[in-house]
Amino acid sequence: MKKAILSAISLLIFSSPRAKEGLWLPPNLIDRQNDLEVSGLRLPIEKLYNPDGTGLNNAIVLFGSGCTAEVISSKGLLLTNHHCGYGTVQGLSSVKNDYFANGFFAKNNAQEIPCPGLTVTFIRKIENVTDKVLYYLPDTMKNKIRDSIIALRVAAVEKDYEKSTGLDATIKPYYNGNQYWVIVTETYKDIRLVGFPPNGIGKFGGDTDNWMWPRHTGDFSMFRIYAGKDNKPAAYSKDNRPYRAKAYFAINTSGYKEGDFTMVYGFPGYTQEYISSYQLKQVYDITDPIRIQARSIKLDIWKNNMDNSRDLFIKYASKFAHIANGWKKWQGEMWGLTTNNVIDKKRAYENKFQQWANDQPAKPYAGILPAMDLATQAVNDAMRNDEYIKETVLGIELVQQGATLDKMLQCFRSKMPVAQLQDTLKKLCNKGFYKNYDLATDKQVFRALMPLYFSNSTGMPAYYSRTYRGYNKNFAHWANDVYRRSAATGIDKMEALAEGAQAGDSTKILADPAWKLYTAVTEYRTKKIVPLMQRYYNKMNTLNRLYMKGQMEESPRHDFYPDANLTLRLTYGHVKGIDPDGPAGYSYQTTLDGAIAKDNPDIEEFKVPEKLKELYKKKDYGRWGVNGTVPLAFIADNHTSGGNSGSPVLNAKGQLIGTNFDRVWEGTMSDYYFDPSVCRNISIDIRYTLFILQKFGGAGWLLNEMKLVKN
């Protein structure tokens, strides 16, 4: 009877509540053809992925280092999220050219703005090379030896692929190192800004609405890929031409209805669906709560100061959005883990797994879970202390700049000639940091976060406790002195240090309080915490690899997919509304009506631009109007993660109907546990994107290069 109950629990965990989940590797979609077609796919499976250049994989790019974008014209036009382009546009903005307040829409190719440092990467081919990497490697081989052999084999196989294709090749592990796949890529480096709506559209609702549904955010931006005359990647040049795309998405302007089949194709960043209850408890008890606590304090200070200064708002907008995004997500994650009793569900499965493993004496599975239990208990205190260091002390920008001072110190110690020393130090001054830095704001953060560290640390550098006593345990006095004396508080001070540098001037850095704070805490981590954590992670890498393999053997009928690792995946589901707290009448779609209803000129996050209000008042929607309004956003039950921001949302024919930009707050635990009753991805309707582009931005010329279709 007990075994029957445990089997039922396992079936419940691995089937019914997780039926719609999955982040599928494109080459393996052929194995899911039947399920895709039953779900609604009306496109030949080989059109989704093939390595000959015509598959839809060739119309999707990794945008920068953590988002997705899609090619929507034969001339290399890219569509992604507003928040994906936010950091790039911040670097292009100023008080004079305030693209956050006013937006930007090029009226022709000549007006498109180069974006230094921005890249996009195409995935040309993905192949399973597990046999070439893992042949004759026993599962129980010592980890250090096993890893060194794998590293040598990976390097050799990557080199072979690069030689045979003439492209870049990277091999990544999947299923916790039980499989290896090579990814052949092509990266373009001349990317230019084409369209970026103002924050009143692209960031409408701000952090209040972030992760929430209903949603009314026009979260899109447009860029263009430029290439050399041979259509290959090239550094920026005025002679470059728009990239000639063999594959790009047709845009369906007929819309959708609830229940319609959808796909999301992109680069999900990180999931841990198969970890043990012991590791999940660390997330629930340690990392998420500490991050939420520390970032709440920092964000309150930043927001108050940003609200009172437009200049400071521009400086901190991108940083604030980045910090706040995780802060709110982790709160939803904890809510979802609690509501779904995920830790208890994992424990129930682990009991069943342990019984199965005990019956497999010839296999290395019986000791895995007990070893995980012991390993996590042994490291929890160090993990807690480290998390407080990273979120408090190293969350202070001036302390972070101690790293720059430390690099300067190494230059002094290298005994290079004075002229070379001065030139090298100037290059290290980090002007980009100071462009977006405010000393007074950072001092407030210091005064708020240092007490949090002191009250929660179970061990700290002797320099910290000694210095704290030296200021009579007064954090305000300590902050005043640090920010008065440190050279790292301003670019003028840093450049003065560099320009007048002489061989013996290293004493200036050794006496700098920001350098002392940085080096004291990093040395403490290096000696007291990092070795413990590294041993733990090494041990858990082995245990997780074996546990993953064991789960796949224990439940052979379950469709296991590899955890997200910022590689190309396809997920599919259906347009579907949500009632997270019971019947609520939430629709699957929002419209411009809802955005106008939220308009509040006194609150920056909810201030609708005047031009958009005029268009609404006149009902001047052009071809994008539907039933007297414009469809704005919709939700579906596709399994997405961070990195899917900007991903194309496709209909059954593989045509673009929207751009993914968020998840609902109630379902953010999907990185650890996918519950189809509450997990929803949020997308901007392509019709709203085109309405804003044409009627608000006056960039209707771009429609001429798109392939617009109807059902």
DSSP-based three-state secondary structure for 108: coil
User: What per-residue confidence (pLDDT) applies to 626?
Assistant: 97
pLDDT for residue 216 is more than 80 = yes
Distances in Å between the Cα of 15 and the Cα atoms of 10, 269, 357, 672, 685 are 8, 24, 21, 15, 31
Closest CA to 574 of 18, 36, 68, 26: 36
Q: Are residues 258 and 288 in the same domain?
A: no
- Whether the predicted pLDDT of 4 surpasses 70: no
Residue 340 burial (CB count, 10 A): 20
Whether residue 42 lies inside any domain: the answer is yes
Q: What is the pLDDT of residues 83-124, one digit of tens each?
A: 999 999 999 998 899 999 999 999 999 999 999 999 999 999
For residue 183, the SS3 value is strand
490 shares a domain with 399? yes
pLDDT band of 505, cuts 50, 70, 90 = confident
Pair (210, 331) in one structural domain: no
Residue 21 pLDDT exceeds 80: yes
Q: Does an H or E element contain 266, and which?
A: strand 261-266
306-350 residue pLDDT tens: 999 999 998 998 899 889 989 999 999 999 999 999 999 999 999
Cβ-contact 461, 523 below 8 angstroms: yes
- In this structure, is residue 130 part of a structural domain? no
Q: Which two tokens stand for residue 86?
A: 């936010």
Indicate if 276 belongs to the active site: no
CA-derived radius of gyration, the chain? 27
> Looking at residue 503, what is its pLDDT?
74
Average pLDDT, stretch 624-635?
97
Report how far residue 481's alpha carbon sits from residue 486's, in angstroms, rounded to the nearest whole number. 8
* Averaged pLDDT for residues 547-570: 96
Compute CA 61 distance to the chain's CA centroid, rounded to the nearest angstrom: 15
The amino acid occupying position 231 is: N
| Distance, CA of 272 to CA of 284 (rounded, Å) | 13
Specify the residue for token string 């929507």: 72
Catalytic entry in 276, 277, 555, 645: 645
The answer to whether residue 576 is domain-embedded is yes
Output the six-digit token pair for 582: 């019971």
Q: Given a cut of 70, is residue 553 above it in pLDDT? A: yes
Strand partners, 120: 63, 188
Q: Assess whether 318 and 377 both reside in one domain.
A: yes
**Cα 622 from Cα 615, distance rounded (Å):** 10
Give CA separation, 256 vs 262, 292, 495, 634, 686, in Å: 9, 37, 57, 9, 11
Residue 8, pLDDT score = 40
Please identify, among 492, 519, 539, the residue that sits at the C-terminal boundary of a domain. Answer: 539
Strand partners, 172: 181
Q: Name the token pair of 221.
A: 């931006």
pLDDT of 180 strictly over 80: yes
Domain count, the chain: 2
Please give the model's pTM, rounded to 2 decimal places.
Answer: 0.89
At residue 416, what is the residue type?
A: M
Q: How far apart are the first and last CA of the chain?
A: 54
Residue 19, pLDDT > 70, answer no
Per-residue DSSP letter, 327: H
> Does residue 435 have a pLDDT over 50?
yes
Is the pLDDT score of 12 beyond 80?
no
**Cβ contact 120:62 at 8 Å:** yes
pLDDT in tens, 379-388: 999 999 999 9
CB 221 within 8 Å of CB 84: yes
pLDDT confidence bin for 581, thresholds 50/70/90 = low
Selected residue with higher pLDDT from 193 and 586: 193
Dist CA 565 CA 170 (whole Å): 13
Separation CA 72–CA 79 (nearest Å): 7
- The yes-or-no verdict on residue 199 having pLDDT over 50 is yes
pLDDT of 5 > 50? The answer is no
Amino acid at 7: S
Residue reference for tokens 């950072």: 442
Tell me whether residue 247 is in a domain: yes
Clarify whether 219 is annotated catalytic: yes
| Cα–Cα distance measured from residue 69 to residue 80, given in angstroms and rounded to the nearest whole number | 5
- Please indicate, yes or no, whether residues 412 and 533 belong to a single structural domain of this protein: yes
Confidence at residue 10, expressed as pLDDT on a 0 to 100 scale: 42
Q: Report the run of H or E that residue 412 belongs to, with start and end.
A: helix 397-413
**665 vs 660: CA distance, rounded Å:** 15
* Per-residue model confidence (pLDDT) at position 436: 92
pLDDT of residue 580: 56
Single out the catalytic residue among 83, 207, 512, 662.
Answer: 83
Examine residue 131 and state whether it is found in any structural domain, yes or no.
Answer: no
Mean pLDDT of 272-291: 97
Residue 645 known to be catalytic: yes
- CB atoms closer than 10 angstroms to residue 367: 12
- pLDDT for 585 equals 52
Tell whether 267 and 313 lie within a shared domain.
no
**Which of helix, strand or coil describes residue 173?**
strand
Identify whether 356 is part of a domain: yes
What Å distances lie between residue 624 and 222, 258, 411, 685, CA to CA? 19, 19, 60, 11
Segment 160-187 shows an average pLDDT of 98
Is 138 in a helix, a strand, or coil? Answer: coil
Q: How far apart are CA 186 and CA 58, in angstroms?
A: 10
pLDDT in tens, 355-368: 999 999 999 999 99
pLDDT-derived band at 3, boundaries 50, 70, 90: very low
**Domain residue limits at 521:** 277-539
- Of 577, 558, 552, 594, the residue nearest 682 (C-alpha): 577
Given a contact cutoff of 8 angstroms between Cβ atoms, the answer to whether 219 and 630 are in contact is no
Q: Please state, in angstroms and rounded to a whole number, the distance separating the CA atoms of residues 623 and 122.
A: 33
Inter-residue contact 179 to 173 (CB < 8 Å):
yes
Do 518 and 477 lie in one domain? The reply is yes
Closest to 201 measured CA to CA, from 709, 706, 693: 693
Q: Are residues 196 and 74 in the same domain?
A: yes
Same domain, 535 and 641: no
Residue 659, in any domain of the structure: yes
Can you tell me which residue has the tokens 């061990």?
459
In a domain, 662, yes or no: yes
In 3D space, the residue among 350, 372, 361, 356 whose CA is nearest the CA of residue 553 turns out to be 356
Residue 566 reports pLDDT greater than 80: yes
* N residues, the chain: 711
Which one of 219, 438, 637, 675 is the catalytic residue? Answer: 219
Final residue before a domain boundary, out of 539, 556, 584 = 539
Backbone torsions φ then ψ of 216, nearest 5 degrees: -135, 40
Instruction: Give pLDDT, residue 583.
Output: 52
Q: pLDDT band at 11, cuts 50/70/90?
A: very low
The reported pLDDT for the residue numbered 582 is: 53
Mean pLDDT computed over every residue of the chain: 94
Judged against a pLDDT cut of 60, whether residue 15 lies above it is answered with no
Model confidence at 543, pLDDT cuts 50, 70, 90, reads very high
Q: Which residues contact 351 (CB under 8 A, 6 or more apart)?
A: 6
Same domain, 531 and 590: no
Pair of tokens at residue 677: 């009753």
691 in the same domain as 602: yes
Residue 71: which CATH number? 2.40.10.120
255 and 283: one domain?
Answer: no
Domain boundary among 522, 539, 556: 539
Tokens read off for 426:
């100037």
Q: What's the half-sphere exposure (Cβ side, CA atoms, 13 Å) at 339? A: 20
Which residue blocks in 93-142 are alpha helix, DSSP H? Answer: 99-102, 130-134
